[in-house]
Structure 1
């Protein structure tokens, strides 16, 4: 089994996070400021270079303003 960071599902997670941010009309910089992190933090998880744990995912969802449960359900459908 490949590490989860290199799976198709992880790639889809990254794309869904990027879509949510864009749909909210936010830049990576704005999301990073809301999280109290550098912009590179957002760029790395969106680009698939960094994994988010569940608590970080909840923080990102709050910063962007989406329901993390819906995002998780979208990942389970495949």
Structure 2
């Protein structure tokens, strides 16, 4: 789904820096999300899509069938960071 967020940003003609300004965040915030180094919670996700002038409900409806049925396993790096 992250790839779809990147594609939408590009379609809207926004750079990471432009989107970050709309979100009131540094460009590194957008970069980390787009590189899958940081996840968005549901509120951040909705704000992100609103900044791109796209309806969050429509985005979810369009991409829900593409989601995996189970939550993917965390990477080893994340497990070590949380002591698991």
TM-score band by shorter chain is: 0.7 to 0.9
Size of the aligned set, in residue pairs, is 66
Q: Which has the higher Rg, Structure 1 or Structure 2?
A: 2
> Which consecutive aligned stretches of 4+ in structure 1 deviate over 2 angstroms post-superposition?
none
2:2, 2:60 → 1: CA distance?
12
- Counterpart of 1:53 in structure 2 is 41
Q: Which has the higher contact order (CA 8 A, sep 6+)?
A: 1
**Aligned CA-pair RMSD:** 1.0
Does residue 32 of the first structure (1) align with residue 48 of the second (2)? no
- Structure 2 residue runs of 5 or longer lacking an equivalent are 67-84
* Post-superposition CA distance 1:13-64 (Å, at most 9, x none): 1101001101100000000001110001001111111000010011101111
Please give the TM-score of this superposition, normalised by the length of structure 2: 0.73
Please give the TM-score of this superposition, normalised by the length of structure 1: 0.78
- Structure 1 residue runs of 5 or longer lacking an equivalent are 1-12
CA contact (8 A) 1:45 1:51 kept: yes
